[in-house]
Each structure stands twice: as C-alpha cells, then as structure tokens.
Amino acid sequence: MFIGKIDDVNDSYYNPILREVLKYLRTTDFSNMVEGAYPVTNNITAKLQRYETRQAEDCKPESHNKFVDVQFVAEGEELLGWCPISPDIQITETYNFAKDVTFYKSLIPESCVILSTRSFAILYPVDVHRPCCSVDEDNPSIVTKVVVKIPVELLK
C-alpha cells in the first residue's frame, strides 16, 4: 500500500499509468459530479461515491485480484484499515470472480491510516483493506470518494 496527499505527489516516483491516474484525481473537480462510473483511460474506470462512514465492525476487510485500487478521498475523512495478505487472516467469503473481491473476518495485524480530504491510498492485490470506517465512531463523516480501478496487467 502507498498513501499520500494528492497535491504533494512527485510524479517521478510512479509509473506512467499511475501518474496519469493521479493527475486525473488531482485535476478533476468531483464536487458537482453525480455518483457513478467514469472512464479515465486504457480500460481504467473511476467510481465516484458518496456515503456516511460506519463503525469498523460494520465494514468488511477485502482484497482484489484483477485490479489495483486507487482510493481518493475528495472530501471528508475516513479510517482505512490495512494488513498484508497472509495465512493468518480468515476468509469469510471466497473470491467472487465477477465482483473481483474476497472478504475476510479481520485484519491481522491491523494498521490504520486516516484518509482526509485529498488523500489517497494505492492498494495492490496483496493489500487486504477495510475502507469506509469512521474516524470517530460516535460521529460518522460524509465522504466523497473516488475509487479508480486499474487492471493489474497494466502495471506489469
């Protein structure tokens, strides 16, 4: 997993595909766009979503096989849980090929990061993650997030 603030990105650290995705996120105004899927380039799709964060126990840890996620918080803040994939974590829902997702019981060991406005995380297939969690479980936040799905083969 890589994390950062979109306005602090040094493009030389990333390959051309990730540079293009990060530029799209940095230069697009998502505030007036409707929720839904938007093409970025080269079979890359951005999904704009708005939601209220939830308590961590209501958010399922997940991983993907076919896509790398770039999760960008355009507005709001959320807690993102993370751990590397390992035999220590228990699968609760086996891989769904159509939805490209496996769900897990928990993150072991769990690390967390706060994704605030204009923060992003790049999550690879080896990154089990639990998005959409409230930073303050007693006070959920409204989040505008863009999840860009990059086919893994484009990054090889």
Instruction: Render pLDDT for 38-52 as a digit per residue (tens, 0 to 9).
Output: 999 879 999 999 999
Query: Domains (ranges, CATH) in the chain?
Result: 2-155 (2.60.120.370)
- Of the candidates 94, 124, 105, the residue with the CA atom closest to the CA atom of residue 61: 105
pTM of the model: 0.95
Please tell me the distance from the alpha carbon of residue 27 to that of residue 88, in angstroms, as a whole number.
40
Please tell me the distance from the alpha carbon of residue 78 to that of residue 27, in angstroms, as a whole number.
22
- Cβ burial, residue 53 (10 Å; 0-12/13-18/19+): buried
State residue 125's pLDDT score.
97
Please tell me the distance from the alpha carbon of residue 147 to that of residue 122, in angstroms, as a whole number.
10
Confidence of residue 146 (pLDDT cuts 50, 70, 90): very high
